[in-house]
Amino acid sequence: MTPAIVICTIIGYFCLLLLISYFASRKSDNATFFTGDRKAPWALVSFAMIGAAISGVTFISVPGMVVGKGYSYLQMCLGFIVGYFLIAYVLVPMFYKRNLVSIYGYLEERFGVSTYRTGAWFFFVSKMLGASVRFLVVCVVLQSLVFGPWGVPFAVNVVITIALIWLYTKQGGVKTLIWTDTLKSFCLIFSVILCICFIAGNLGFDFSQLVAAVSSDSTSQVFFFDDPKAGTYFWKQFLAGIFMVIATTGLDQDMMQRNLACKDSKESQKNMIVSGVMQFFVIALFLILGTLLVMYMNHNNIAMPEKTDDIFGIVATSSGMPIIVGILFVLGLISAAYSAAGSALTSLTTSFTVDILDGQKRYDDNRLTKVRKGVHVAMSAIMGLVIIAFYYLSDQDAISAVYTLASYTYGPILGLFVFGMFCGRNVRDCFIPIACIAAPALSWVAQYALKHFFNYETSFELLIINALFTMVGLLMFSSKKN
């Protein structure tokens, strides 16, 4: 697959993004950027949320997961569905009742300003690191397919791609993201289904043979009940999935910005549940694709790469595949990555402007617009630097890196909200940052001790452990409510 074809695919998709962004951002203001004017139809948001929850990491990493972990990710996705119901019927009504622009405003009402700032800073770190890892995957692929053959350094690749993201999100904010996420969802589902069809056809499978081959393959095992110490054990994955989606969607300004763009809580609830169920089936498509990719490599004696994240790209761009498969691979990848990075920049800009700078209270509308635009540029620059740092320092597979980071950084946020909503004790606001910073450190010690002394492999339940440490810390600094 030539660099020229990749560039043409990217240019075509980006032109479509700019066109959608232009029409979606007309007559936009700060309210449009932060909340989408709360006029988005729930069905549109629901379909857009499929793409919002799936990044370039999912597109690259999930198919490769089948090599070592089978379909164990679906166990976590079942937990996601339960988590979406809890978000819809516990968190969404609370956020709408308070008419929050940033969901971390709840922490100020419940605990105080220090807690509010702490929650906002943890979100900032969480989203910046997570979004950078997600977008790193795309930059690496573009480096190998385009910029590397042309002799362009990786840092220049990052600057160019981040600049494109900034360009189409700089004006419209959430309203633009909902429409671009709709395009992303369509491109993702369309590209994965067609890739499955092309690879199955290359292997000589009709539909019934495809179903039989995938279901009988060793990589398609879904449930793992045999070893409670293993990271793929069902109950660890299922429970971690519940709390992971609550933390990374329900308590994430990026994801909730879209859901809070619906006109009321009832509409938002319908969107949340429908999109959560649909995401399960979309993830299943990625895993089926992964099994077919492994079958294709074995059938054609292609060596398995050292990193399973590379499997999809190797097969899609191989000489045995028609050029359309490579184009679909690039289309799905950039649609996932551009949208995810764009939404991260928008939410980071919102949270930093509203929560950390307290912009809505300190500035008039004109001044707020200038500050918001300056913050947007700064967030883009910081994300670029973090991506470059990850490129040279990280060797973990992408999706594991994303959830590991989330376990450490979202744990305190989850602990704050759970304690605030279900425990009536007063907590001294000035001590809460101490508890939130100590919890991830104690979680790392617990993870190391469990592995070293009991040979217990801590998976994404680390998030729950982190949240529990946070809640214990809050309890230590609390007193009975007057």
Task: State residue 441's pLDDT score.
Answer: 93
Give the pLDDT mean for 209-236: 89
pLDDT of residue 24: 63
Q: Is the pLDDT of residue 397 over 80?
A: no
pLDDT over 90 percentage in the chain: 21
Statement: residue 46 has pLDDT above 80: no
Please, what is the Cα angle at 241 between 239 and 242, to 5 degrees?
A: 70
Per-residue pLDDT for 79 more than 90? yes
Over residues 347-386, the pLDDT tens digits come to: 788 778 888 887 777 887 788 888 888 888 888 889 888 8
Identify which has the larger pLDDT, 167 or 295: 295
**pLDDT, tens digit (0-9, with 9 covering 90-100), for 247-305:** 888 888 777 877 777 778 888 888 889 888 988 999 999 999 999 999 999 988 888 88
Q: pLDDT per residue over 102-142, tens digit each? A: 788 889 889 998 998 898 888 888 888 877 877 787 788 78
The predicted pLDDT at position 470 comes to 95
pLDDT at 276: 86
Residue 170 sits in which domain range?
Answer: 3-479
Confidence of residue 164 (pLDDT cuts 50, 70, 90): confident
- pLDDT for 171 equals 55
| Mean local confidence (pLDDT), 302-315 | 83
Distance CA 382, CA 174 (A): 21
Residue 436 corresponds to which tokens in the numbers above?
Answer: 């939130």
- The answer to which of 69-78, 185-194, 242-251, 439-448 has the lowest mean pLDDT is 185-194
Assess whether pLDDT exceeds 90 at residue 15.
Answer: no
Q: What is the CATH number of the domain that holds 74?
A: 1.20.1730.10
| pLDDT tens digit sequence for 171-209 | 555 566 677 777 777 888 888 888 899 899 888 999 999
CB atoms within 10 A of CB 157: 22
For residue 148, what pLDDT band results from cuts at 50, 70 and 90? Answer: confident
| pLDDT band, residue 56 (cuts 50/70/90) | low
Looking at per-residue confidence, does 197 or 402 come out higher? 197
- The least confident of 325-334, 370-379, 398-407 is 398-407
Percent of the chain with pLDDT over 70: 89
Least confident of 8-12, 89-93, 114-118, 132-136: 132-136
> What is the count of structural domains for the chain?
1
What gap in Å lies between CA 290 and CA 312, rounded to an integer? Answer: 8
User: What is the pLDDT at residue 216?
Assistant: 92
Residue 233 has pLDDT above 80, yes or no: yes
Note the pLDDT of residue 475: 93
Q: Higher-confidence residue: 107 or 310?
A: 107
